[in-house]
Amino acid sequence: MIKEAILLAGGLGTRLRAAVPELPKCLAPVRGRPFIAYVTDYFRQQGIERFIFALGYKSDYFDDFFRTEFPDGGYTVSLEDAPLGTGGAIRQACGLSVEKTVLILNGDTFFRIGLKALSDFHEEKRADCSLCLRPMENFDRFGVVELDDEARVTKFREKQYYPTGLINGGVYALDRAAFMGEEWPPVFSFEKDYLEPATGGGGLFGLVQPAYFIDIGIPEDYRRIQEEFNNLS
Domain boundaries, the chain: 4-228
> Contact 184/88 with Cβ under 8 angstroms?
yes
Structure confidence at residue 11 (pLDDT): 67
Of residues 227 and 43, more confidence is placed in 43
Please give the mean pLDDT across all residues of the chain: 92
Q: What is the DSSP letter of 198?
A: H
Rounded-to-integer distance, Cα 213 and Cα 2, Å: 21
Tell me, what's the pLDDT at 35?
A: 93
**Rg of the chain in Å (alpha carbons):** 17
The string of DSSP letters for 22-70 reads SS-GGG-EETTEEHHHHHHHHHHHHT--EEEEEE-TTGGGGHHHHHHH-
End-to-end C-alpha distance for the chain, whole angstroms: 23
To the nearest 10°, the Cα dihedral for 34, 136, 159, 202? 100
Q: Which residue has the higher pLDDT, 222 or 214?
A: 214
According to the model, what pLDDT value does residue 86 have? 96
For residues 159-163, give the mean pLDDT: 96
Residue range 23-38: mean pLDDT, rounded: 89
- The confidence band for 225, taking pLDDT boundaries of 50, 70 and 90, is confident
The gap from C-alpha 157 to its chain's centroid, in whole angstroms, comes to: 19
- The domain defined by 4-228 folds into Spore Coat Polysaccharide Biosynthesis Protein SpsA; Chain A (3.90.550)
Q: Does residue 232 carry a pLDDT above 80?
A: no
pTM of the model: 0.94
Beta bridge partners of 173: 103, 130
Q: Which of these ranges, 2-6, 204-208, 219-223, has the smallest mean pLDDT? A: 219-223
Q: Can you give the pLDDT at residue 21?
A: 55
Q: Per DSSP, what are the bridge partners of residue 147?
A: 153
Q: How far apart are CA 233 and CA 218, in angstroms?
A: 22
pLDDT digits (tens, 9 = 90+) for 65-99: 999 999 999 999 999 999 999 999 999 999 999 99
Are 35 and 26 in contact, with CB atoms under 8 Å apart?
yes
